Structure 1
Amino acid sequence: MPRAALDSPTGESANDQPRDAYAYQELDGAGARGEAVLAEECALAISYNGISHAVMMVSPSAVEDFVAGFSLSGGLVDGLDDIYDIQVKRAGAALSAEVQISSRAFWALKQHRRNLAGTSGCGLCGVEALEQALPQLDTLTASPLPPAEHLQGLRERIGSAQRLARQTGALHAAAFVDGSGEIRLCREDIGRHNALDKLIGALLRERLEPQLGFALVTSRCSLELIHKAVRARIGTLVSLSAPTSLTVQWARRHHLNLIHLPHHSAPRVYSPAPFAGGG
């Protein structure tokens, strides 16, 4: 699949363009003034084979990775071979992504859109929403847990890898730690779902095997992140924030290793369960 580039007058990617600093004044007696670089946010319109599908608010970095990951984690494609091309263009403050996908994937997408239209006004839209919130997912082949030493100092290491967050202090991150314990990929976004989608897309586009390492998210570990990880065949998900009970139940059900990395204690493995029937 050709690597797309953002369409800008200078030919720079969104990652490379200079960021404006915004003036502020501190609300105290001194009233000191300063400037800060803030996180960028823009609207991204995604179309598949010419048909508009979604508009998302994203950080304008690694956009092609996001589009690829969003397509896979949303069940729109089965893999990278279904994505023929991604063309990203800029129009003022907005971005648009035109995605060319296989005939099989496009037919499935049109069927899904037709089903949505057919349920409109008939009282079944709530059922459709529940199916999206609690989808049927394939069960993963169980993966071994990562060595404990690969989790040591991970909070500090991911902090060092978050280049954009160091500038703005307002971005989530998702990273891939490879089989040797090194952070191989790191993607950042204003949205925690978007950050994981970008990482999934990067894994796809670089043809890295997700089960030969683990994914790390800096955000709250909610059920939607479990859905994305399972669809991307990620064997182990590590979160800096504690998971919800439903997240643990789904991780165990689908053989996804789920590990919480607390601030001041040892890593906690919630999935697989520590013993048969454990709660």
Structure 2
Amino acid sequence: MRRPAHSTAPGLSVQRDGARRVTRALPEEVPVAMVFDGTTQAVMMASPTDLEDFATGFALTEGFIETADQIAELEIAHHAKGIEARFWLNRAQGQVLAARRRSMAGPVGCGLCGIDSIDQAIRPLPRLRSNLRLHRDQVAQASDTLRHWQPLHDRTRAVHAAGALGPDGRITCAREDVGRHNALDKLIGALVRGGQDPAQSAFVITSRVSVEMVQKTVMAGCPVLIAVSAPTALAVSLAEEAGLTLAAFARGGGFDLYAHPQRIETGATDVA
């Protein structure tokens, strides 16, 4: 039972000049259970599209696997009330996961619910090393460039997007979802499954930068994160520690740089 990305619903639009009946396109969201070797490790509310990408990206960024080849099999099972992403891991990784047995639950927009210790929430991250360089104009225009890759947003005005920006300033891949974390996981999964190295791109997101967005970007090996909105203070601190270049408020032809600005060629006012 495949589900559409959106459906329509009637409503009453009340404006200053009166009221009128309207029919709006609304994004669908469903519970997606991440099941590893028969055990449910997470349930996320997500858009029911690009589910193999979502599952793969989630497994990578949340540390259930280290590489995609540790997945022996991945099956998407549709049920009346939700969807299961069923993983079967190779023997070695299955044993690692069995020893770990991390449990979490994720309502829409939440990437931390269910983690049972602060140490797990602020987990250590690898240090990024990358030769990727971008020009200031590419960063300033990144959000506008991503807009051309958001068909579900154009219909519903209610979903987030994440895109991979290459060194030539072009978006090579993008994914959408009702959850900003999910959109980023879908993008990462799509890149990995398509044989693209996230280290050769910048990630562009249509949301604020929270700790989880930094964590997922770093875990994927991407060296630059560009966001249309603001970062949290802790996200900036984490990006600095992990070697991640963080650009925020990327809209209207400009942006702010908060960590490792050396990857962005800013012109006469360059700071290293």
Using structure 1 for the length normalisation, give the TM-score: 0.83
Judge conservation of contact 1:146–1:213 (CA < 8 Å) in 2. Answer: no
Judge conservation of contact 2:140–2:254 (CA < 8 Å) in 1. Answer: no
Change (3 A) 1:212 1:18: closer
Q: CA deviation at 1:140?
A: 1.3
Change (3 A) 1:183 1:230: same
Q: Structure 2 CA distance, aligned partners of 1:71 and 1:166? A: 29
Residue 134 (structure 1) aligns with:
122
Residue of 247, 260, 263 corresponding to 2:235: 247
Q: CA deviation at 1:238?
A: 0.7
Residue of 48, 70, 75 corresponding to 1:82: 70
Q: Is 2:125 the partner of 1:174?
A: no
Query: Tell me, which stretches of 5 or more residues in structure 1 are unaligned?
Result: 1-7, 117-125
SS state of the match for residue 53, structure 1?
strand
More strand by share: 2
Q: Is 2:208 the partner of 1:220?
A: yes
The residue type equivalent to 1:146 in the other structure is: L
Q: Per-residue displacement from partner, 1:176-225 (whole Å, max 9, x unpaired)?
A: 01222111111111111111111111111011111212111111100111
Q: CA deviation at 1:18?
A: 7.6
Residue 20 (structure 1) aligns with:
7
Residue 259 (structure 1) aligns with:
247
Q: CA deviation at 1:149?
A: 3.0
Residue of 243, 247, 257 corresponding to 1:269: 257
Judge conservation of contact 1:252–1:273 (CA < 8 Å) in 2. Answer: no
Q: Structure 2 CA distance, aligned partners of 1:18 and 1:257? A: 33
Judge conservation of contact 1:142–1:255 (CA < 8 Å) in 2. Answer: no
The residue type equivalent to 1:235 in the other structure is: P
Change (3 A) 1:153 1:265: closer
Q: CA deviation at 1:263?
A: 3.0
Residue of 146, 149, 156 corresponding to 1:161: 149
Judge conservation of contact 1:145–1:236 (CA < 8 Å) in 2. Answer: no
Q: CA deviation at 1:161?
A: 1.0
Q: Per-residue displacement from partner, 1:218-246 (whole Å, max 9, x unpaired)?
A: 11100111111111101111111121221
Q: How many residue pairs are counted as aligned between the two chains?
A: 252
Q: Structure 2 CA distance, aligned partners of 1:47 and 1:79? A: 17
Judge conservation of contact 1:143–1:257 (CA < 8 Å) in 2. Answer: no
Q: CA deviation at 1:101?
A: 1.2
Judge conservation of contact 1:216–1:238 (CA < 8 Å) in 2. Answer: yes
1:48-127 matched pairs, under 5 angstroms: 48-113=36-101
Identity %: 30
Q: Is 2:204 the partner of 1:231?
A: no
Q: Structure 2 CA distance, aligned partners of 1:110 and 1:253? A: 30
Judge conservation of contact 1:23–1:34 (CA < 8 Å) in 2. Answer: yes
Which has the higher mean CA deviation after the structures are superposed, 223-232 or 85-94? 85-94
Residue 194 (structure 2) aligns with:
206
SS state of the match for residue 35, structure 1?
strand
Q: Is 2:149 the partner of 1:151?
A: no
The residue type equivalent to 2:240 in the other structure is: R
